């Protein structure tokens, strides 16, 4: 039975890694057809609402009422601002490069934010990972800086800023929302933050009936449904299973597999061209993330449970 369980867990891990690698293509298709804040808001309102509906009996409704101020603050940072920046940046950035920036920076940024807010202990290994990660970012940005393509450089900067904001919110959530279980917190943050994105979109983006028509076209609609059903509900549920049987460190190894999936899928499906130096920068970032995680996660106890939003970075 244990062999079957391990085999099943490995297949689930691969499914989660592939799905979250492909979500970047879906985001790219969506933001090229509709305004980015509108597309992000539509995705998270639907995903958060459906998650809370499907998991209604497991939701800590009293906890939501008790911590509503913290939920508003975390939702504004983690979903509205962070994903608003990320989806906007995706307009000007290849999907594979965006995935590498986001996924590889997340563990390094969490360490820096945690250290600054005294929620993380100092580690020389992680410091080396941060330094290597900064080198990777410089290499990744070099083609845009050299060619003077301000829009592409701005897109990358938006992705970096969005990742930093998300990681800050993740560290803060550990203090402010520790009493909430991860399903309640995730569904609430997606729904509340999605509503914030929708309101922000209404204020700054040129919305009309044509926007909804554009979303309902085959490619954007398929991308939107893929993000809601596969990227949020299916992959999230499977990831919760991995967190329970593997623990957060080992389950988090998807962050080293999904960028590779995204790079290959972006080149094959969307015909995205990645400069050789960008491929080098991407590899450096992945190595930096591996250094930052460090250790031998496959030897960790398989019964560890997630404690905060740091244990789950939804795509």
Contact 61, 164 (CB under 8 A): no
Q: Cα–Cα distance between 141 and 176 in angstroms, integer? A: 35
pLDDT score for 5 = 63
Q: Cα–Cα distance between 30 and 218 in angstroms, integer? A: 11
Question: What six digits make up the tokens of 303?
Answer: 């019964």
Report yes or no on whether pTM surpasses 0.85. Answer: no
List, for residues 30-88, the tens digit of each pLDDT value.
999 999 999 999 999 999 999 888 888 888 888 888 989 999 999 999 899 999 999 99
Q: Cα–Cα distance between 154 and 232 in angstroms, integer? A: 27
In angstroms, what CA-CA distances link 64 with 70, 71, 179, 190?
9, 8, 10, 13
Question: What six digits make up the tokens of 294?
Answer: 């460090």
Contact 87, 40 (CB under 8 A): yes
pLDDT score for 141 = 63
Q: Cα–Cα distance between 288 and 285 in angstroms, integer? A: 5
Q: Cα–Cα distance between 17 and 239 in angstroms, integer? A: 10
Residue 270 DSSP class: S
Q: Where are the domains of the chain?
A: 2-311
Q: Which residues of the chain have pLDDT under 70?
A: 1-6, 107-108, 110-111, 114, 118-123, 126, 130, 137, 140-151, 240, 243-244, 247-252, 278, 289, 292-315
């Amino acid at each position: 039975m244990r062999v079957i369980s391990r085999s099943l867990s490995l297949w689930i891990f691969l499914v989660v890694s592939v799905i979250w690698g492909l979500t970047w293509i879906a985001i790219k298709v969506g933001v090229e057809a509709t305004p980015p804040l509108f597309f992000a808001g539509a995705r998270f309102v639907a995903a958060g609402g459906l998650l809370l509906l499907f998991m209604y009996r497991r939701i800590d409704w009293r906890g939501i009422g008790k911590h509503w101020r913290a939920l508003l603050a975390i939702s504004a940072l983690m979903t509205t601002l962070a994903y608003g920046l990320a989806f906007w940046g995706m307009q000007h950035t290849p999907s594979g490069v965006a995935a590498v920036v986001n996924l590889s920076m997340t563990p390094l940024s969490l360490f820096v934010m945690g250290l600054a807010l005294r929620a993380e202990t100092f580690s020389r290994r992680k410091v080396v990972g941060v330094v290597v990660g900064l080198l990777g970012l410089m290499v990744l940005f070099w083609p845009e800086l050299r060619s003077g393509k301000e829009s592409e450089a701005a897109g990358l900067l938006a992705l970096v800023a969005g990742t930093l904001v998300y990681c800050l919110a993740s560290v803060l959530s550990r203090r402010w929302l520790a009493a909430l279980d991860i399903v309640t917190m995730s569904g609430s943050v997606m729904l509340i933050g999605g509503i914030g994105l929708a309101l922000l979109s209404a204020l700054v983006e040129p919305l009309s009936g044509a926007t909804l028509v554009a979303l309902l076209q085959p490619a954007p609609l398929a991308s939107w449904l893929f993000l809601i059903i596969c990227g949020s509900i299916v992959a999230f549920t499977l990831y919760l299973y991995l967190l329970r049987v593997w623990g957060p460190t080992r389950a988090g190894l998807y962050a080293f597999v999904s960028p590779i999936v995204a790079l290959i899928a972006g080149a094959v499906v969307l015909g995205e061209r990645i400069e050789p130096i960008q491929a080098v920068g991407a590899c450096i970032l992945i190595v930096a993330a591996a250094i930052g995680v460090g250790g031998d996660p496959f030897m960790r106890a398989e019964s560890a449970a997630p404690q905060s939003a740091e244990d789950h970075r939804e795509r």
